[in-house]
A and B are shown apart, each in its own frame.
Chain A
Amino acid sequence: NAGVTQTPKFRILKIGQSMTLQCTQDMNHNYMYWYRQDPGMGLKLIYYSVGAGITDKGEVPNGYNVSRSTTEDFPLRLELAAPSQTSVYFCASRATRNTEAFFGQGTRLTVV
């Protein structure tokens, strides 16, 4: 059971560089999410998607972009990386409103 898979697990970026965090799920879930986790702050929603071709901003979208061309994949793009984007990023998916959300193992990103 693969569930939600994120790559890479770790990455160090220089200020101004760009990268894409990959997320894929094999459970045919319509709902997918990107969160960032900062110490003492819990998880904050960056972007979400309710199905292929449909995405929308969450609480902290600035500096990020997403796409959802297929049900399985929901990549997160960072353009012009900044130190404030140093965080742990989690991708998640769920089937419906009251079902379990499954999380990826996280990507630890450091911007220097």
Chain B
Amino acid sequence: AQRVTQPEKLLSVFKGAPVELKCNYSYSGSPELFWYVQYSRQRLQLLLRHISRESIKGFTADLNKGETSFHLKKPFAQEEDSAMYYCALSGHSNSGYALNFGKGTSLLVTP
């Protein structure tokens, strides 16, 4: 079964502190993983995908197949990082490769 787990509903950190949003997955095969961000009342937008290994807005994420994890990290959080973050896994062809989303983690960065 394909599943994405984000164990934290809410994560609150101070500005300048490091932040790590956890994501674990279960998938049979080679996973395609993504992080999406949703700012207040806006559409979801892609933050990172594991295949590109980019760093966007200071965020990075490493795929750890042994631990089946894809945690999102940023060394110094900014107030503008406050948003909802979703980890997503691309499904199999029998679901049209639809993204399976975790329940999301709300990140609040306070001054």
Contact = CB atoms under 8 A, between A and B. Distances in A.
B21 to A, nearest CB: 14
B96 A49 contact: yes
Interface residues of A, number: 25
Main secondary structure of the interface of A (DSSP, over half): strand
B14 interface: no
A35 B86 CA distance: 14
A105 B38 CA distance: 10
Interface in B50-73: 51
A42 B97 contact: no
A56 interface: yes
Contact of B101 (A43, A49, A50, A96): A43
Contacts of A1: none
Contacts, number: 58
B43 A42 contact: no
A58 B96 CA distance: 9
A100 B49 contact: yes
A98 B45 CA distance: 15
B98 interface: yes
Given A40-B103, A104-B43, A106-B43, A96 B98 contact: no
B95 interface: yes
Interface in B14-47: 32, 34, 42-46
B49 A96 contact: no
Contact of B95 (A35, A41, A48): A48
A98 B95 contact: no
B83 interface: no
A33 B49 contact: no
Interface string A27-71: 000010101000011110100111000001010000000000000
A65 to B, nearest CB: 17
A106 B86 CA distance: 16
Give 3 nearest A-B pairs by CB, closest first: A48-B96, A97-B97, A42-B103
Interface of B: 9, 32, 34, 42-46, 49, 51, 86, 90, 93, 95-104
